[in-house]
Amino acid sequence: MGGYGMGMGPGMMGGCGMSMGMSPGTMGGYGTGMGAGMMGGTAGGAWMPDLNESQRTELTKIQDESRKRHWELMGRMQDEMAKMRDAMWGAKRDRTAIVAALDRMHEIRKQGVAQMLDTTDRVEGLLTPEQREQFRRRNPMWMMNGGVGQ
């Protein structure tokens, strides 16, 4: 199950249940974090222009911080999914609890998008204008600052 939205079926990180995804099967592998490819390779389809040592050091720091925030959000999403599951499949379906969990999941998803944009801004801030242009030409629109609606 990919794309934005939610539905019943394979959940994030495996298993079954509600899935709130911004990417194939996860809350943010492709949407809320920069991913391994941002470090200069092509993993995950991302590409980064040639970086100097200072840029690589700072990019590593940004990636580590982003990864930690991303996993914190994913943990919170899993908690809300468990609450929704319990409210859905308990002895008596609790509509109020289901809707409340869904509202919290939407908020977490918005936080993930904001995190992705913040991280992209920080990464682009490290680059020279020439590197930024190369980065924008070679990376998918969803990975770039302002890619949504631009």
pTM higher than 0.95, yes or no? no
Residue 98, pLDDT > 50, answer yes
Question: Is the CB of residue 98 less than 8 Å from the CB of residue 88?
Answer: yes
Report whether CATH 1.20.120 matches the domain 53-140. yes
How far, in whole angstroms, is CA 131 from its chain's centroid? 23
Region of poorest pLDDT, from 14-18, 51-55, 100-104, 108-112: 14-18
Question: What is residue 92's three-state secondary structure?
Answer: coil
What residues does each domain of the chain span? 53-140
Instruction: Give 38-97 pLDDT, tens digit per residue.
Output: 333 333 335 666 899 999 999 999 999 999 999 999 999 999 999 999 999 999 999 999
